[in-house]
Structure 1
């Protein structure tokens, strides 16, 4: 812990900087409490996403770049306008990619997170699904 004091116009300001350790690394502290819990929470998805328990549209069979896929859209129950997930599965079901969209606090824009490293064709399918399910946005 470092403590530094500065005097400015007769007022005394105290700046306290704390670190886990000057020799710590992310891979180390991410395995120790309380950092471990915070790290895990940062990487987790909302329960409706993790458990696939949302309001859903029927699966569509689609083709992109000559490959077949299955495409679905789901949203958070009772909050579809603000929390949505589009998912593309490979035809054999062994790969999946997603687009998680959460509306900003001001209600004007969506924060979009791509999942599973989609290529351009799959990303286009995900964006089309999002647009189709949000015609006014």
Structure 2
């Protein structure tokens, strides 16, 4: 008896060839199946290779080796599975269930070779999959692979563009301003030890459009942003005086507010007001 047969003979591996599905229908649309459906294998040149089938007809995903089959159903496509922190090349996650109670995820990704699937799931699923749970199932469709390669090139180009320097005075958003060569060193000095916090040093979380505020007789740019997925507990407001090269700010983190940049009294009072307005609805 093979290792695969021993694994699949009991428990979670209970759906065999010829048996009709017994639970929910798929939530995948025709557009998702067109982009991500088809045959994936550890070795597309080998007909006997372990494979993953994303089937348009049955609207399910199969993990197969020989005549043995695991069936995942109740599928949903999750394009925002990783939120704003998706790994490079991520395309979509196909979320399903085995036997209606064991969670399984098919992560569809792209790289320089094309499109592939990796499997994740609950402990029962991964234990039964064994080594297959660590495999990359490559798409066996050349057209799909070419499209994934093109998408990856576009993603890489967008990443380069997002890291490019921004001309001073042209930033419209916090993530732009941090790429302003005049602003960045002034801001880092004002942060001091807080510069070790990635969400603060990169300013890459959610924020609002930059706008002008008149404070104590001077014109400042108001910069408000927060930590991705944790805005309520980690957020900041800054006042940036570009002509004078000054940054004052109030950072809320760990349940307390920290002042940065040594603002004078009137500016400090305004920072408190602006912070309440931006992050506590004016309370």
TM-score normalised per structure 2: 0.30
Say if 2:262 is the partner of 1:117: yes
Distance (whole Å) between structure 1 residues aligned to residue 277 and residue 254 of structure 2: 16
Return the offset for 1:124.
Answer: 2.1
Return the offset for 1:59.
Answer: 1.3
Structure with greater strand percent: 1
Q: Larger Rg: 1 or 2?
A: 2
Return the offset for 1:113.
Answer: 0.3
Indicate the RMSD between aligned Cα atoms, in angstroms: 2.1
More relative contact order, 1 or 2 (CA 8 Å, 6+ apart): 1
Equivalent position to 1:64, from 193, 200, 215: 215
Q: Is the 8 A contact 2:251 2:258 kept in 1?
A: yes
How many residues were matched structurally? 90
Deviation beyond 3 Å, 4+ runs, structure 1: none
Structure with greater helix percent: 2
TM-score normalised per structure 1: 0.58
Query: What's the counterpart of residue 253 of structure 2?
Result: 102
Return the offset for 1:136.
Answer: 7.3
Q: Is the 8 A contact 2:216 2:267 kept in 1?
A: no
The answer for unaligned runs of 5 or more in structure 1 is: 1-41, 105-110
Distance (whole Å) between structure 1 residues aligned to residue 231 and residue 212 of structure 2: 23
Distance (whole Å) between structure 2 residues aligned to residue 88 and residue 97 of structure 1: 5
Counting only pairs closer than 5 Å after superposition, residues 8-23 of structure 1 correspond to structure 2 as: none
Query: What's the counterpart of residue 53 of structure 1?
Result: 204
Residues 67-111 of structure 1: per-residue CA shift (max 9 Å, x gap): 11111111001110110011100142611011110253xxxxxx0
Q: Is the 8 A contact 2:273 2:282 kept in 1?
A: no
The answer for unaligned runs of 5 or more in structure 2 is: 1-191
Q: Is the 8 A contact 1:73 1:129 kept in 2?
A: no
